[in-house]
Amino acid sequence: MAKNLAKDAGKEAIEALGWWQTHRFLIYRRLCQISIMACFMLGPTLGILKGNLSSSLVLDTIPLSDPLIVLQTLATGHIPEMTTFIGVAIVIVFYAMLAPRVFCAWVCPLNMVTDLAAWMRRKLNLKASYRWPSTLRYWLIPVILIGSAISGTTLWAWIDPVATLHRGLVFGMGAGWILIVLVFLLDLVLVEHGWCGHLCPLGATYGVIGSKSALRITATNREACTKCMDCFYVCPEPEILKQPLKEGDRRVMSQDCISCGRCIEVCPTKVFEFKSRGSHQVQVSTKSPSITK
């Protein structure tokens, strides 16, 4: 079967599986992102979630802290309060156990902006003008920490579009819209998936944290793949889908996966699904016991 056009990604899945099956994870993600923002907005009134994405308090009891902010704070030579360490420990344990970069697809409000840019790029048939290495975001982490140590401030907090968008939605954007528009234009015109796929150091941090997490997207039914390319078109990290569709391990083991589930939704032959990290290993060992000897 010949590959589809990027602008038609998901069309076959809608015809074969229906609109809901082709958009269910996308809807769940939006509801999750909007609900979290609503909790922050209503925090002073209801007391469910107070603070911001960098540091918050759930039900006036449970602290949550952004790992990258805490690392920057330590780099400046300041020692945070014990509640901050407890908060970052809770965040790390939660995301380390769940799935790769769940924060990026299910919590981060900027994901809605970058998803819109990616959708428009496909519909307008825009080609990438530049290509950047995906490892760039990982190199930005030590650069940010060194910069924080030299400046004595949490450097990334001043230019972080994720925090800017969150503050803007809760307290009013002001000039912060300029930064968000720049991220949108970066993804739309210059580099495909430029922010989430190449630059965001916060996403890189959560990638490292979730590298051994439990849930993995798995090409359980890869023999049914028709090479329509729809999953590659919608995936923010398309390179990670190559290995699971070939011989060997069917799991997406890359820590760059954002666990958005879009590859699952747009596949008309149901090649992908979410499975626990060890489930496919058991399946392989049962079918080919000689491999484990």
Domain count of the fold of the chain? 2
Mean per-residue pLDDT for 160-177? 82
**100 part of a folded domain:** yes
- End position of a domain, from candidates 155, 190, 209: 209
Specify whether 187 is located in the same domain as 76.
yes
Distance CA 198, CA 76 (A): 26
Model pTM?
Answer: 0.88
**187 part of a folded domain:** yes
Q: Are 288 and 44 in contact (CB under 8 A)?
A: no
Supply the pLDDT for residue 90: 96
Q: What is the CATH number of the domain that holds 11?
A: 3.30.70
Is pLDDT of 32 > 60? yes
**66 part of a folded domain:** yes
**291 part of a folded domain:** no
Specify whether 202 is located in the same domain as 216.
no
- End position of a domain, from candidates 154, 185, 209: 209
Domain that holds residue 13: 6-25+212-276
- End position of a domain, from candidates 165, 192, 209: 209
State the pLDDT confidence band at 219, using cuts at 50, 70 and 90.
Answer: very high
**201 part of a folded domain:** yes
- Positive or negative, the CA dihedral 96, 100, 105, 106 is negative
As a whole number, the mean pLDDT across the chain is 89
Secondary structure (3-state) at 203 = helix
Is pLDDT of 216 > 90? yes
Specify whether 265 is located in the same domain as 185.
no
State the pLDDT confidence band at 83, using cuts at 50, 70 and 90.
Answer: very high
